[in-house]
A and B are shown apart, each in its own frame.
Chain A
Amino acid sequence: MSHLIVTDIHKSFSGTPVLTGQSLQVKDGEFVALLGPSGCGKSTLLQIVNGLIPADRGSVVLNGEDITGRTGKGRGMVFQGSELMPWRSALENVAFGLEVMGIGRAQRTARAREYLHLVGLDGFEHSWPHQLSGGMQQRVGIARAFCIQPSLLLMDEPFGALDVQTRDTLQDELLRIWESEPKMVLFVTHGIEEALYLADRILVYSKRPASVLREIQVPFERPRREDMKMDPRFLELRREISELLRDDAAH
């Protein structure tokens, strides 16, 4: 059973506190959305969990191992702008994490091919990133993260830079892939609808320094489908969260 325990994280940037004593837990197979206004510190929290940014205080424990301030080790990250290496083909980009882990070429290529198939990009193995659309690039980004078969998936506004149609499609794709390979997810977003549609649980954050305004257990069953967005309970929750964030912004 995998689990993530983040305890009492503090972080300031040149004297400005961004996080003051933030804690959270993720259970095995749980999809958790971190929702909040832009610049509130939720991305910083994600990067601290990822190990890219050192915390001033606090700890990150994944599957019983203290990984505070260290990268790698069972975490796959999907970045906002997909951030593919332009000199690598789609296939080589997906295989990147495995190459870092020292897995041989034949094996990592075979596995990367599998995941490229999983995100629906058969036939694009040897395409360069610049030949792919924004949506396809982010599919490669998602495949890259799944390919290392992490126990924790970190997603930093992965669909923020895409147009609405592409975003809707990719949300469904993500759900489909994640349902076939369930794992813990921390998903940072400022989209209320996105958080409700994807997550099991939502942590709604205040403006900076981020603190949890409310924790919401999303009541919808899986598999989730598009028509859920018309459900009265969905609309009601969306309105509540929207008001919560507006109130917070006004103070």
Chain B
Amino acid sequence: MKKMRAMTNLLGCLLLLVVWQAAGAELSESLLATPLQVFVALNDTLLGNAFWAALGSMLWQMSVGYALALLVGVPLGVAMGRLPLVRALVKPWAAMFIVVSAAALVPLFILLLGRGVLLCVAIVFVATVWFVVTTMMEASRSVSPNLLDVARSYGASPLQVFRLVLLPALHPYVLIAARIGLTHALRAMVTAEMFISTGYGGLINDAGLDLSTAPLFGLIVMLMLLSVTATGLLRWVANRTAPWYASRTGDH
């Protein structure tokens, strides 16, 4: 079953590559480079130092904003899910900020925070935190009231109910929030860098000016690989540490 699914995934990727190759051959390298041209260009990129320096600086700045978003978002989301007062107070902010794209905020944040590390961290934070908050809010609202009743009927104190029921029930959802948050963090980080033309976003800007589109596609493909690997890793951790949840969603 698992093998079958993996094969189908692979087939989907192959199909995409074939269509891309055909379309690229029809157009030209300056409009749509083919996968083979991208592969060659990517090889050059990966051999250079600029790429790795840009990747490194992007990753650590993004990680800071992302970690902050989880640190604030998870408890805030849980509090919103369990406490009607907090939910009523904070929900309008979430509803408003979640629709504002990172790109719309960058110009304002440049004015407020300059063009340094602080800008990128702040953009990643605001672009990520509300997704984490809403995911955790829904998760903690959906914790089975029956299981809370079980704990209470065995005489559990509110603190024990929290520790023995709420926390373990939420554990898989924290990893889901982390996964959703990560893709948003990565997108926001690249957007911010493109505005101030540094790091990975800066490389994408430069590649966009190239006569060939191959280097640009190469950078985008690397970004995709990075995101897929990282979310895959989080999924693996979730399946390992919460097999009971994986069994419910058929992911085991």
Mark A residues whose CB is within 8 Å of B.
50-52, 71-73, 75-77, 79, 81, 83, 85-88, 96-97, 99-101, 128-130, 148
Contacts and interface: CB of A to CB of B under 8 A. Distances in A.
Contact of A71 (B154, B247, B248): B154
A52 B154 contact: no
Contact of B146 (A73, A83, A96, A129): A83
Contacts of A128: 243-244, 247
A100 B151 contact: yes
B240 interface: no
B68 interface: no
Given A79-B146, A129-B244, A99 B153 contact: no
A130 B146 contact: no
Among B147, B165, B244, B247, the one with the most A-chain Cβ atoms within 10 Å of its Cβ is B244
A100 B244 contact: no
Contacts of B165: 85
B221 to A, nearest CB: 38
Given A87-B168, A130-B247, A97 B154 contact: yes
Contact of B155 (A88, A100, A129): A100
Nearest to B153: A77
Given A52-B149, A81-B146, A130-B247, A87 B155 contact: no
Contacts of A86: 244-245, 248
Contacts of B146: 79, 81, 83
Contacts of B40: none
Interface residues of B, number: 23
A92 B130 CA distance: 35
B28 interface: no
B131 to A, nearest CB: 25
A71 B152 CA distance: 7
Tell me the dominant secondary structure on chain A's binding face: loop
A75 B153 contact: yes
A87 B171 contact: yes
29 contacts: A51-B152, A51-B153, A52-B153, A71-B153, A71-B154, A72-B153, A72-B154, A73-B155, A75-B153, A81-B146, A83-B144, A83-B146, A85-B150, A85-B165, A86-B245, A86-B248, A87-B168, A87-B171, A87-B244, A88-B168, A96-B154, A100-B154, A101-B155, A128-B244, A128-B247, A130-B244, A130-B247, A130-B248, A148-B154
Given A128-B244, A129-B244, A130-B247, A87 B151 contact: no
Given A87-B169, A87-B171, A99-B164, A79 B151 contact: no
B159 to A, nearest CB: 11
Given A97-B154, A100-B155, 18 more contacts: A50-B153, A52-B152, A71-B153, A72-B153, A77-B150, A79-B150, A83-B147, A83-B150, A85-B164, A86-B244, A86-B248, A87-B242, A88-B168, A96-B151, A100-B160, A101-B155, A128-B244, A130-B244
A100 B244 CA distance: 22
A77 B150 CA distance: 8
A129 B243 CA distance: 11
A52 B149 CA distance: 7
Interface string B159-181: 01000110011010000000000
B171 to A, nearest CB: 7
A185 to B, nearest CB: 15
Q: Which 8 A-B pairs have the closest CB atoms?
A: A72-B155, A86-B244, A87-B168, A97-B154, A77-B153, A100-B156, A130-B247, A83-B146
B164 A96 contact: yes
Nearest to B165: A85
Contacts of A96: 150-151, 154, 164
